Amino acid sequence: MQPFRKGRLSARLAETADDLQAAQRLRWLCFVARTGVVDDGTGLDADALDADCLHMMIEDAATRQLLCTYRFLPLACGSEIARSYSAQFYNLKALESFDGPMVEMGRFCIHPETRDPTVLRVAWAAMTRFVDEAGIEMLFGCSSFVGTEPEAHADAFAMLKERHLAPRRWLPRVKAPKVFRFARALRLRKPDPKRAMAAMPPLLRSYLAMGGWVSDHAVVDPVLRTMHVFTGVEIRAIPPARRRLLQAASN
C-alpha cells in the first residue's frame, strides 16, 4: 500500500526498525501504562508476531507524531489461521475452511492524548485500501473491553448476544482458561441500547457497523486487565452504504 494523506494526517506502513519501535512504544502507552506500570520512557509492547505482520502508522503529517497504529497479518485462507494472534485464545477450527484471503487486524490503538475522530476514520481508510488492493474476503481480530468485571459491560455483552453472534458455521469455540460465556450467562437479559453502545469499544462499534459478528464468549486477560471478543467481518457482507463510505474515505 502506498502512503497517502488526508488533511493533516498521513497513513503509511512501517518501513524501518525505528518505525516499528515507535509503534511498539505507542502500544505500550495504550495497553500497559494504563495498568499502573511505571513509565521510564523505554517501555515497548512487542512479541514474536510483530516480525510477521505489517504495521500501519497514522501520523500528524507536519510533526510526524504517531497518533495511531495497528498491525495486520495477511493469510492466504483459513488453513493458515493457526498462525494468527487470535488462535492463541480461541478455538478457530471452524474458520479453517474459509477459502478466501483473510487478514487479522490487531494491537489497534490511538494515542491517549488524541481526541480527533478523524484519526479513526483515516485508520479505517488505510485498512480499506489494503483490503481492496489485496482482495481480502475476511477481516478479523480481537476487540477489547477495559476491565475484567463482566457486570460493567453487561448491556454491551447482552446486545452482542442478541444481535451480533457469529454464524454457527464460523463460531469460535472456547480455548482460553478464563472466559466469560456471555451468550449463556446473559441469555435472559434484554440490553439497554443506549448503555450498550456507550460501553462498546470504538473499534468494535466500527466492526459492527460493517456487519461484523463476535464470539459467544469473552476471554479475560488479567495481565492487561481487559476482556476481549473475537470479531469477524466478511467483506462481501458489508452493507453497500457503509462500503461506499469506506471506499470514499480511502480515495
Nearest to 202 by CA among 177, 175, 231: 231
Q: How far apart are CA 118 and CA 29, in angstroms?
A: 20
pLDDT of residue 36: 82
Nearest to 74 by CA among 94, 92, 100, 35: 100
pLDDT of residue 9: 96
Q: Which residues pair with 66 in a beta bridge?
A: 59
Nearest to 168 by CA among 95, 227, 234: 95
Count Cβ neighbours within 10 Å for each residue of 199-229 and write b for 16 or more, e otherwise.
bbbebbebbbebbbbbbbbbbbbeeebbbbb
Q: Which residues pair with 96 in a beta bridge?
A: none
Nearest to 23 by CA among 63, 2, 53: 53
How confident is the prediction along the chain (251 residues), in pLDDT tens digits per residue? 899 999 999 999 999 999 999 999 999 999 999 888 888 889 999 999 999 999 999 999 999 999 999 999 999 999 999 999 999 999 999 999 999 999 999 999 999 999 899 999 999 999 999 999 999 999 999 999 999 999 999 999 999 999 999 999 999 999 999 999 999 999 999 999 999 999 999 899 999 999 999 999 999 998 889 999 999 999 999 999 998 988 888 88
Q: Which amino acid is it at 104?
A: E
pLDDT of residue 40: 86
Strands 179-180 and 213-214: unpaired
The number of angstroms, rounded, from the C-alpha of 119 to the middle of its chain's C-alpha atoms is 15
What is the distance between the terminal CA atoms of the chain, rounded to a whole angstrom? 12
User: How is the chain split into domains, by residue range?
Assistant: 72-250
Question: Could you tell me the maximum CA-CA distance found in the chain, to the nearest angstrom?
Answer: 52
Helix axes 202-209, 118-134, angle to 10 degrees: 50
